[in-house]
Amino acid sequence: MSSDPSKLAFHDGWQYAPAPESTDHVSIDEQYELFIGGDFSKPEEERYFDTINPATEERLSSVALAGSADVDRAVKAARKAYSGAWSKMKAAERGKYIFRIARILQERAREFSVLESLDGGKPIRESRDIDIPLAAAHFFYYAGWADKLEYAFPGRTPKSLGVAGQVIPWNFPLLMASWKIAPALACGNTVVLKPAETTPLTAMRLAEVIREADLPPGVVNIITGAGETGAAIVNHEDVDKVAFTGSTDVGRIIQRSLAGTGKRYTLELGGKAANIIFADAAIDQAVEGIVNGIFFNQGHVCCAGSRLLVQESVAEEVIAKLKDRMETLIVGDPLDKNTDIGAINSAEQLDTIRSYLSIGREEGAEMYQSSCKVPETGYWCRPTIFTGVSQSNRIVQEEIFGPVLAIQTFRTLEEGLTKANNTPYGLSGGVWTDKGAKIFKMTQSIRAGVVWANTFNKFDPTSPFGGYKESGVGREGGLHGLDAYVTLES
What value, to the nearest 5°, has the Cα angle with vertex 305 and ends 141 and 425? 85
| Single residue of 259, 371, 376, 392 touching another protein by CB under 8 A | 259
DSSP string computed for 20-36: BPP-TT----SEE-EEE
| Single residue of 468, 482, 485, 486 touching another protein by CB under 8 A | 468
Break the chain down into helix, strand, coil percent, rounded to 5.
40, 20, 40
| Single residue of 200, 231, 470, 482 touching another protein by CB under 8 A | 470
Residue 173 or 449: the one with the smaller Cβ distance to another protein is: 449
Residue 466 makes contact with another protein by CB under 8 A: yes
Residue 96 or 480: the one with the smaller Cβ distance to another protein is: 480
By CB under 8 A, the residues from 387 to 446 that bind another protein are 424, 439, 443-444
Question: What's the Cα-to-Cα distance from 138 to each of 143, 181, 452, rounded to whole Å?
Answer: 8, 9, 20
| Single residue of 452, 482, 484, 485 touching another protein by CB under 8 A | 452
Task: Check if the beta carbon of residue 417 is closer than 8 Å to that of residue 408.
Answer: no
The closest of 217, 220, 152, 223 to 191, measured between CA atoms, is 220
| Single residue of 71, 475, 482, 486 touching another protein by CB under 8 A | 475
| Single residue of 17, 260, 376, 437 touching another protein by CB under 8 A | 260
| Single residue of 6, 15, 27, 490 touching another protein by CB under 8 A | 490
Residue 422 or 454: the one with the smaller Cβ distance to another protein is: 454
* Residue 445: CB minimum distance to another protein, A: 9
- Residue 337 identity (one-letter amino acid): K
- Residue 157 identity (one-letter amino acid): T
Region of 193-201, 328-336, 382-390, 475-483 interacting with another protein (CB under 8 A): 475-483
Residue 144 makes contact with another protein by CB under 8 A: no
The whole-angstrom separation of Cα 241 and Cα 257 is 13
Say how many CA atoms lie within 13 Å of 336 toward its Cβ: 16
Residue 287 makes contact with another protein by CB under 8 A: no
Cβ atoms within 10 Å, residue 462: 11
Residue 449 makes contact with another protein by CB under 8 A: yes
- Exposed / middle / buried, residue 41 (Cβ in 10 Å: 0-12, 13-18, 19+): middle
Residue 448 makes contact with another protein by CB under 8 A: yes
Say how many CA atoms lie within 13 Å of 338 toward its Cβ: 12
Q: Give me the catalytic one of 126, 197, 268, 399.
A: 268
Cβ atoms within 10 Å, residue 367: 15
Residue 458 makes contact with another protein by CB under 8 A: yes
Torsion angle (degrees, nearest 10) of CA 150, 156, 161, 165: -80
Classify 421 as helix, strand or coil.
helix
* Residue 253: CB minimum distance to another protein, A: 8
The closest of 178, 188, 177, 179 to 216, measured between CA atoms, is 188
Residue 155 makes contact with another protein by CB under 8 A: yes
Q: Quick one: which H or E segment has residue 163?
A: strand 163-167
**DSSP structural state of residue 484:** G
CA-based Rg of the chain, rounded to a whole angstrom?
A: 23
What are the two backbone dihedrals, phi and then psi, of residue 386, each rounded to the nearest 5 degrees? -115, 130
Cβ atoms within 10 Å, residue 156: 13
Residue 252 or 361: the one with the smaller Cβ distance to another protein is: 252
Residue 248 makes contact with another protein by CB under 8 A: yes
Residue 169 makes contact with another protein by CB under 8 A: no
361's CB contacts (< 8 A; 6+ apart) are 367
Residue 379 or 452: the one with the smaller Cβ distance to another protein is: 452
Residue 337 makes contact with another protein by CB under 8 A: no
Residue 256 makes contact with another protein by CB under 8 A: yes
Region of 76-84, 88-96, 304-312, 465-473 interacting with another protein (CB under 8 A): 465-473
Residue 156 makes contact with another protein by CB under 8 A: yes
Residue 137 or 396: the one with the smaller Cβ distance to another protein is: 137
Active site residue 302: yes
Residue 251 makes contact with another protein by CB under 8 A: yes
Region of 28-36, 51-59, 292-300, 470-478 interacting with another protein (CB under 8 A): 470-478
Q: Give me the catalytic one of 187, 302, 303, 372.
A: 302
Residue 192 makes contact with another protein by CB under 8 A: no
Site string for another protein, 117-136 (x = CB under 8 A): --------------------
For the annotated catalytic residues, the residue numbers are: 268, 302
Residue numbers at the binding site for another protein (CB under 8 A): 137, 154-156, 248, 251-253, 255-256, 258-260, 267, 269, 424, 439, 443-444, 448-455, 458, 460, 462-466, 468-473, 475, 478-480, 488, 490
